[in-house]
Amino acid sequence: MTRAWTSRPAADVLADLADLRRVDPPTHGGRVLSYVYDSGRADLDAVAARAVELFLPVNGLDPTTFTSVAALESRLVARARDVLHGGPDTAGSVTTGGTESCLLAVKSARDTWRAADPARVHARPTLVLPTTAHPAFHKAAAYLDLDVVPVPVDPARGTPDADAVLAAVDDRTALVVVSAPSYPFGVVDPVTEVAAGASDRGVACHVDACIGGWVLPWWGDDVPPWDLAVDGVTSISADLHKYGFAPKGASVVLYRDPARHRAQYFATTAWPGYPVVNPTVLGSRSAGGLAAAWAVVEALGDQGFAALVAQTRDATTRLRDAATAIAGLRVVGRPTGPLLALATDDDAPDADRVDPFHLVDALRRRGWLAQAQPALTQPDGTVLPRTAHLTITPVTQRVADDLATALHDAAADVRGRGPATPDPALAQHVLTDGLPDDLAAVMATLEALPPDVVRPLLVEVLARAVAPPPVTLVTDPPRA
């Protein structure tokens, strides 16, 4: 059933797009405390937009045809190699995002592990990771047939013991993952100890610096070693579309050893078309993201990054101090970098406690978007608390006082209300009516339901959100 649709003037179509954007949360100005990374510099946004425009039609599929793509990728990988303290042999790729960088690091490790022993050709290796590792690694394991071995972190610190991580490593381990820092709690894992232990055992170690890769280099000298300067680190991921302030669609993955980089590639001649060689997951793709990322990194320079990170650090310190001073709340662990997780202060009397899910709702009513993170029961039975996540960016500095006041007032709105509790009826409600304004009960329900029940529910909610409208009867004449 195909029906014709009439052509619309471009201005009309663009006005429609602008209307759609008006109901989105603001991507600039610091009121959205996840998803967006606002440098606060309109000139950088302009450089990126112009770079995208120039390279939008260029196909990144074949850098031997579009040599501009080869040149840009080479320059950007070289820049990342410097920033992340790689050596002369360091090799890598620009990808479309952190998930792709992590997925490729897992693919490289899996294939390297299999190639090391003929008996492993069809074997299923393991991926050892702290429970705080990004879900991109669970996704990689699911796509690439590895078994995840999750290692509990200390609920107070938010990091694992290096010994516990290494105790999970055995002959089947293709890769050990650590984060610098982890997304949920913003704390840096014990990279030096884990990487050294992994190396002793002949196992690869990936540092997920998707968040930290373009911010920790300028953060200060109180950051523990975390990059390719650490012995035993075999690969690292760093997102340009986070603290590299590039538009979405850019990340880098680097390898200490070129052979591990090559293991990331896919090549085939098993068809009657052109010889295929793909370093990354996608085939045809716009070079716009690559060009924009390179342009922003060059426009910033070392000093530009240092200045933006100084703003970010100042804002983070002020907000951490403000949050610490709020009765009934606490900051989880000792974050290194621009992320904060706020949990209930269980030492406070019941009447003073602030529930993070209620806090997130109260902040939203006041015009600030924080992210609710459900509690997690770890394999050893310990529980990581539910938290409110804040991603601090350079522009947050301009609104830091307003945000500190909003945190204070939002906490006062909900103090003593007790933890948000699950409501099993909500699952059906959300499916039929969509999400309610206040999400505390929804989050508490997701937290309480068994994972096997939650996963299909999440899929259904999102699939329905983007599903086409119901089919109506065709009244106009079908096309010939």
Interface residues with ligand PLP (CB under 6 A)? 97-99, 102, 134, 136, 179, 183, 208, 210-211, 239, 251
Using the minimum distance from each CB to ligand PLP, give the nearer residue, 193 or 208: 208
* Spatial distance between the Cα atoms of 100 and 219, rounded to a whole number of angstroms: 26
* Spatial distance between the Cα atoms of 245 and 426, rounded to a whole number of angstroms: 38
Sheet strands (E) in 304-423: 329-331, 339-344, 371-373, 376-377, 383-384, 387-391
Tokens linked to 159:
């990091």
Which residue's entry shows tokens 């879900």?
Answer: 135
Using the minimum distance from each CB to ligand PLP, give the nearer residue, 188 or 322: 188
- Least separation, in Å, of the C-beta of 470 and ligand PLP? 32
Using the minimum distance from each CB to ligand PLP, give the nearer residue, 130 or 385: 130
Q: Is 124 helix (H, G, I), strand (E, B) or coil?
A: coil
Who's near 269: CB < 8 A, 6+ residues apart? 275, 276
Using the minimum distance from each CB to ligand PLP, give the nearer residue, 90 or 96: 96
In DSSP notation, 96-121 reads SSHHHHHHHHHHHHHHHHHHT-GGGT
CB-CB contact of 236 with 207 (8 Å)? yes
- Least separation, in Å, of the C-beta of 175 and ligand PLP? 14
- Least separation, in Å, of the C-beta of 179 and ligand PLP? 5
* Spatial distance between the Cα atoms of 195 and 180, rounded to a whole number of angstroms: 13
Which of the 8 DSSP states describes residue 301?
Answer: H
Using the minimum distance from each CB to ligand PLP, give the nearer residue, 37 or 305: 37
* Spatial distance between the Cα atoms of 452 and 343, rounded to a whole number of angstroms: 26
Who's near 400: CB < 8 A, 6+ residues apart? 314, 315, 318, 319
Using the minimum distance from each CB to ligand PLP, give the nearer residue, 192 or 371: 371
CB-CB contact of 209 with 84 (8 Å)? yes
- Least separation, in Å, of the C-beta of 268 and ligand PLP? 26
Using the minimum distance from each CB to ligand PLP, give the nearer residue, 35 or 167: 35
Using the minimum distance from each CB to ligand PLP, give the nearer residue, 328 or 394: 394
- Least separation, in Å, of the C-beta of 235 and ligand PLP? 13
Q: Which of 377, 357, 356, 372 is nearest to 451 (CA)?
A: 377
- Least separation, in Å, of the C-beta of 191 and ligand PLP? 13
Q: What is the largest CA-CA distance in the chain?
A: 73
Using the minimum distance from each CB to ligand PLP, give the nearer residue, 91 or 140: 140
- Least separation, in Å, of the C-beta of 243 and ligand PLP? 10
Closest CB to ligand PLP: residue number: 98
- Least separation, in Å, of the C-beta of 246 and ligand PLP? 11
Q: In this structure, how many other beta carbons lie within 10 angstroms of the beta carbon of residue 432?
A: 7
Instruction: Tell me the β-bridge partners of 150.
Output: 129
- Least separation, in Å, of the C-beta of 36 and ligand PLP? 12
* Spatial distance between the Cα atoms of 94 and 479, rounded to a whole number of angstroms: 44
